[in-house]
A and B are shown apart, each in its own frame.
Chain A
Amino acid sequence: MATDEGVAQGLAGWLGGKTFGSVTVLASKATIATDLEEEPAVFLDLTVSDPAPNTDTWPIEDVLALRRAVLRKASELQLAMRIYVRLSPATDAPQEDDTPALFG
Chain B
Amino acid sequence: MAQRPINPAWLIRQADELGYRNKGPGQPRNADLRRAVSVAYYALYHDVVLRVCTHQMPKCPDVERWSWSRLFTHKGTRRVCDVVSSSGPAPQHVAESVRHMRANQSLVDVAIAFVSLQQARFEADYDHAAEFTKPTTLSFVDQARDAMRKLSVIAGSADYGRFMALMAMHATPR
Hey, which bits of chain A sit against chain B, CB under 8 A? Answer: 35-37, 50-51, 56-58, 60, 63-64, 67-68, 71, 75, 80, 82, 84-89, 92-97, 103
Query: Given A56-B21, A64-B109, do A93 and B146 touch, yes or no (CB 8 Å)?
Result: no
Q: Give a binary string over B110-148; 1 marks a CB under 8 Å from any A CB, 0 the rest.
A: 001001101110100000000101111111001101100
| Beta-carbon contact of A51 and B27 below 8 Å | no
Count contacts on B: residues with CB < 8 A to the other chain: 42
Residue of A nearest to B25 (CB): A93
| Beta-carbon contact of A36 and B118 below 8 Å | yes
Residue of B nearest to A78 (CB): B87
Chain A residues whose C-beta falls within 8 Å of the C-beta of B138 in the assembled complex: 56-57
| Beta-carbon contact of B85 and A87 below 8 Å | no
Q: What is the CA–CA distance of A21 and B21 in the complex, to the nearest angstrom?
A: 21
Hey, which bits of chain B sit against chain A, CB under 8 A? Answer: 19-22, 25-33, 75, 78, 82, 85-88, 105, 108-109, 112, 115-116, 118-120, 122, 131, 133-139, 142-143, 145-146
| Beta-carbon contact of B27 and A95 below 8 Å | yes
Q: Say how far B51's CB is from chain A's closest CB, in angstroms.
A: 20
Query: Given A88-B133, A89-B135, do A96 and B29 touch, yes or no (CB 8 Å)?
Result: yes
| Beta-carbon contact of B136 and A86 below 8 Å | yes
- Main SS class of interface, B: helix
| Beta-carbon contact of B119 and A84 below 8 Å | yes
Q: What is the CA–CA distance of A87 and B116 in the complex, to the nearest angstrom?
A: 12
| Beta-carbon contact of A96 and B27 below 8 Å | yes
Q: What is the CA–CA distance of A95 and B14 in the complex, to the nearest angstrom?
A: 19
Q: Say how far A91's CB is from chain B's closest CB, in angstroms.
A: 9
Chain A residues whose C-beta falls within 8 Å of the C-beta of B87 in the assembled complex: 71, 75
Q: What is the CA–CA distance of A56 and B143 in the complex, to the nearest angstrom?
A: 14
Chain B residues whose C-beta falls within 8 Å of the C-beta of A56 in the assembled complex: 19-22, 134-135, 138
Chain A residues whose C-beta falls within 8 Å of the C-beta of B136 in the assembled complex: 57, 86-89
Chain A residues whose C-beta falls within 8 Å of the C-beta of B145 in the assembled complex: 60
Chain B residues whose C-beta falls within 8 Å of the C-beta of A84 in the assembled complex: 116, 119
Q: Say how far A57's CB is from chain B's closest CB, in angstroms.
A: 4
Chain A residues whose C-beta falls within 8 Å of the C-beta of B75 in the assembled complex: 37
| Beta-carbon contact of A93 and B142 below 8 Å | no
| Beta-carbon contact of A60 and B143 below 8 Å | yes
| Beta-carbon contact of B142 and A63 below 8 Å | yes
Chain A residues whose C-beta falls within 8 Å of the C-beta of B139 in the assembled complex: 57-58, 60, 63, 87
Q: What is the CA–CA distance of A84 and B88 in the complex, to the nearest angstrom?
A: 16
Q: What is the CA–CA distance of A84 and B33 in the complex, to the nearest angstrom?
A: 19
